[in-house]
């Protein structure tokens, strides 16, 4: 029972902490007035997320990942927060993102882009914003592939264990 409780705590804890940080940390210094810092932080955070995702994918392939879902969910939420912060910073540059003015707008646009829904109320107008949207779509594809692989492997492993115990 303790292991299950830890798993559920990890499942909820990582995303809650990341979203809390997103809404409480001031992001006003990101944007066109500090472009070099903004792009460096964005690139560094994406690299960290990428390494985490590659590590999780490697653990999946090797069959060493016991509870992949909390880690993948935390990485996915991390990507949401990083892209939302990037979009918020880019929205301060006129002509980059039309209709995006608040943190909620940025998170909304990030989720809508990740879900590939695209209502059209907020859209990338500038070249930099379009590149970041394409990068987010690529990240989403990789995250979803890794997540589905992890869940499939976990379900298969549990089914095999149960069938062995029933025999």
Bigger pLDDT: 46 or 167? 46
In a domain, 3, yes or no: no
What pTM was estimated for this model as a whole? 0.82
Instruction: Give how many domains the chain has, as a whole number.
Output: 1
DSSP state of 124: E
User: By residue range, what is the domain housing residue 84?
Assistant: 28-166
Q: What angle do CA 21, 70, 82 make, to 5 degrees?
A: 35
Given CA atoms 35, 37, 43, 45 in this order, what sign does their dihedral have?
A: negative
Contact 110, 136 (CB under 8 A): yes
pLDDT in tens, 17-70: 999 999 998 888 788 788 888 899 999 999 999 888 888 878 877 777 677 777
* CATH for 96: 1.10.287.70
Backbone angles phi, psi at 97, to 5 degrees: -130, 110
pLDDT in tens, 125-162: 889 999 999 999 988 888 778 777 777 777 777 778 77
Question: If we measure between CA atoms, which residue out of 117, 120, 116, 122 comes closest to residue 136?
Answer: 116
Contact 79, 67 (CB under 8 A): no
Per DSSP, the three-state class of 98 is strand
In a domain, 79, yes or no: yes
Contact 140, 117 (CB under 8 A): no
- Scanning the structure block, which residue is given the tokens 């560094």? 44
């Amino acid at each position: 029972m303790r292991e299950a409780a830890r798993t559920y705590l990890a499942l909820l804890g990582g995303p809650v902490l990341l979203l809390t940080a997103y809404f409480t940390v001031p992001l006003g210094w990101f944007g066109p007035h500090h472009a070099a810092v903004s792009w460096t932080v964005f690139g560094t955070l994406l690299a960290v997320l990428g390494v985490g995702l590659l590590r999780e994918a490697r653990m999946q392939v090797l069959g060493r990942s016991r509870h992949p879902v909390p880690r993948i969910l935390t990485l996915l939420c991390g990507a949401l927060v990083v892209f939302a912060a990037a979009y918020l910073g880019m929205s301060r540059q006129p002509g980059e993102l039309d209709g995006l003015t608040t943190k909620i707008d940025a998170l909304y646009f990030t989720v809508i882009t990740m879900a590939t829904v695209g209502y059209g109320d907020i859209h990338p107008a500038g070249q930099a914003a379009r590149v970041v949207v394409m990068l987010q779509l690529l990240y989403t594809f990789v995250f979803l592939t890794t997540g589905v692989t992890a869940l499939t492997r976990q379900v298969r492993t549990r089914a095999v264990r149960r069938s062995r115990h029933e025999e």
